[in-house]
Amino acid sequence: MRVGHGWDIHRLASGRQFKLGGVLIDWDKGPLGHSDGDALLHALCDALLGACALGDIGLHFSDSDPKWKDCDSGRFVTAAVEMASGRGFRPVNADVTIILEAPKLAPYREAITENIASLLGLPKERVNVKAKTAEGFGPEGAGDAVSCHAVVLMEEQGR
């Protein structure tokens, strides 16, 4: 077994599309970023890479590479799963936490869970999505940023 952790934060700005876990969030702000700025999928990607000692998202998908401009971050997760498979590992479960002051994410939780499960090739019962506010503290609390943590467990294939 291997465990990996990922964290990411993106500044929120007016007029940007807001995607979290590959799901479009209806809000008047969205994350600034070279790709689609999906902080949850970036954290998940780093957790997958971390579990397999494959570095981090910036190493494989540079934010100065025009290839990844406005890219769907699901591609990073899919590629990380493939890289992990190349090392002989597959996901067992994922637990993620979103820190966002607004909007409330309860209406999106099921769709985010299903999308992450699909990207990881897991049944949705093995994916947990948590969302919380920052109680008004810091950039997340001010509504200026979204941050995400992700933990994944990986197992050696063929066991």
Give the binding site for Mg ion (CB under 5 A): 8, 42
Q: How far is the CB of 58 from Mg ion (least distance, A)?
A: 9
Q: How far is the CB of 8 from Mg ion (least distance, A)?
A: 4
**Is the CB of 19 or the CB of 42 nearer to Mg ion?**
42
Q: Which long-range contacts (CB under 8 A, 24 or more apart) does 117-124 make?
A: 119/22, 119/41, 119/44, 119/74, 119/77, 119/78, 119/81, 120/77, 120/81, 120/91, 120/94, 120/152, 121/81, 121/90, 121/91, 122/91, 122/92, 122/93, 122/94
**Is the CB of 16 or the CB of 42 nearer to Mg ion?**
42
Q: How far is the CB of 88 from Mg ion (least distance, A)?
A: 27
**Is the CB of 1 or the CB of 13 nearer to Mg ion?**
13
